[in-house]
A and B are shown apart, each in its own frame.
Chain A
């Protein structure tokens, strides 16, 4: 399993457990979509990237696609625990301008209140 999904105060917390690259993004999408199809009432999400030590353009593109899909449904998505190496990729691709990034999952959850 790449994705572990849970519900915290009505917000979907998505833990990703390995690098998000071209090799793993399809599984990530499928597992997230299957959880979303069960938990249809969840509109807001926090993506916990604590265990993601690398991300390429495919991983980044997938996160942007997920953000787009969530905002189209009227929800929002925040990113938590972004590690040093993926953060550098976020910096050079300007992705930090697109996502709201927080140091911890709790901080991201608080912002929904």
Chain B
């Protein structure tokens, strides 16, 4: 038997919960995908195909080759023109040995009587909502073909083996399943040797002062810090790397990872994800940029980011050193001949919202050796380079986006790295949105160095035609 997990369709409600792709949203501190893969392991499914969409990198990074679950995972991207069932039909010869398909935020909620061996007796079935198939199971090619042709399969579906098909179709449902887990269902998903006698589960490296009060049922992840006089629980699910300040009470709530919760607060019936406060009842989201209340605990800078930062900073420093003297000579000449001038313009900034940058503008459209030399040395970028050395811009990345002209583009970028050098510097036909998305997808030290070298060389050799 093979399994296919289709994660390509975005879920709007999941975006409100932070940056994690929805297959990695935690249910009782374990990503949804983890439960699916665990089910595959229990069923003896050896081959899993994960069809990726947004957040592909993170999904792939989490599940890797699948060795952790004893399965082999293959990844592919969805085609925009193809629905998941069309894909399954088109490749129906691959499902001769059976298929387990999950195509949305679907949780296999185990009832008390559930045992993994139940799957051996499970008849072909499918579950879906809003005209979309979320779950499909067939033990052989004929069963799978019948289901793909529209046959509904067993009426009782997964309930025959004591699994409640739980559709996570919004924030209230997501909160609900977490609360169900913390109320005792969590123990149905843990492996032998793990005890939750008093309904509490506390991860590694959790610091609690003696005055903190932990009230089961609760689930706490790893690397959490609680302040004095805090009360955690009952019915609290706290993910990894959460800090709760003193005199704060958490109950009937879900705190997602990397969250800081301020002093003397009372959190109930809410989801908190970083600086987002989300109502568990109607999904209302408030973003609070106020570290007195809630804030994002930034994960530590990764080693590769640090290496990239140091190397690029050094390269930028070298470029700046080379540029300083020519700039001091040529810029006064450029001003005297009135060919160009620096003007301040407002651009989007990922940290402060907006930033004012000095951009060089050509004033007169006439040929000038001074202007050509100025461009050949990329001296028009020196002010931006200085900002990059101060850490206000990236050295290589996406072109800075103007405000308000480029607001639409910025709103479509999941990651925005405004930089001195970008693909646009050496590619005249550059589409900024496409290039920016592509850069965010393949961002690496190699790519940054390539952009830097190509930009400098292109400008050096092509300055006359610019």
Contact = CB atoms under 8 A, between A and B. Distances in A.
Interface of A: 54, 56-58, 84-85, 88-89, 91-94
A91 B268 CA distance: 8
Interface stretch (B45-53, B153-161, B288-296, B407-415): B288-296
Contacts of A58: 290
B152 interface: no
Given A56-B289, A56-B293, A57-B292, A92 B284 contact: no
Interface in B214-270: 262, 264-268, 270
B266 A88 contact: no
A92 B277 contact: yes
Contacts of B267: 92
A80 to B, nearest CB: 20
Interface residues of B, number: 18
Nearest to B250: A92
A57 B265 contact: no
Contact of B286 (A54, A57, A93, A94): A54
A88 B265 contact: no
B288 A94 contact: no
B292 A92 contact: no
Contacts of B293: 56-57, 89, 92-93
Contacts, number: 42
Nearest to A86: B286
5 contacts: A54-B286, A85-B284, A88-B279, A91-B266, A92-B293
B288 A89 contact: yes
Interface of B: 262, 264-268, 270, 277, 279, 282, 284, 286, 288-290, 292-294
DSSP majority for the A interface?
helix
Contacts of A85: 284, 286
Given A54-B286, A57-B290, A89-B288, A94 B270 contact: no
B252 to A, nearest CB: 12
Contacts of B265: 92-94
8 closest Cβ pairs, A-B complex: A57-B292, A56-B290, A85-B286, A92-B265, A57-B290, A94-B266, A84-B284, A92-B267
A92 B268 CA distance: 8
Contacts of B294: 92
A84 B281 CA distance: 12
Contact of A89 (B264, B268, B286, B289): B286
Nearest to B261: A92
A62 to B, nearest CB: 13
A84 B290 CA distance: 18
A56 B268 CA distance: 19
B275 to A, nearest CB: 11
A88 B290 contact: no
Contacts of A93: 264-266, 293
Contact of B264 (A54, A56, A94): A94
A95 B228 CA distance: 21
Given A89-B288, A92-B267, A92-B294, 14 more contacts: A56-B288, A56-B289, A58-B290, A85-B284, A88-B277, A88-B286, A91-B268, A92-B266, A92-B277, A92-B293, A93-B266, A93-B293, A94-B264, A94-B266
A92 B270 contact: yes
A84 B262 CA distance: 21
Contacts of A88: 270, 277, 279, 284, 286
A89 B277 contact: yes
A84 B282 CA distance: 10
Contacts of B282: 84
A55 to B, nearest CB: 9
Nearest to B282: A84
A57 B267 CA distance: 15
A1 to B, nearest CB: 24
A27 to B, nearest CB: 18
Nearest to A84: B284
A93 B267 CA distance: 8
Contacts of A94: 264-266
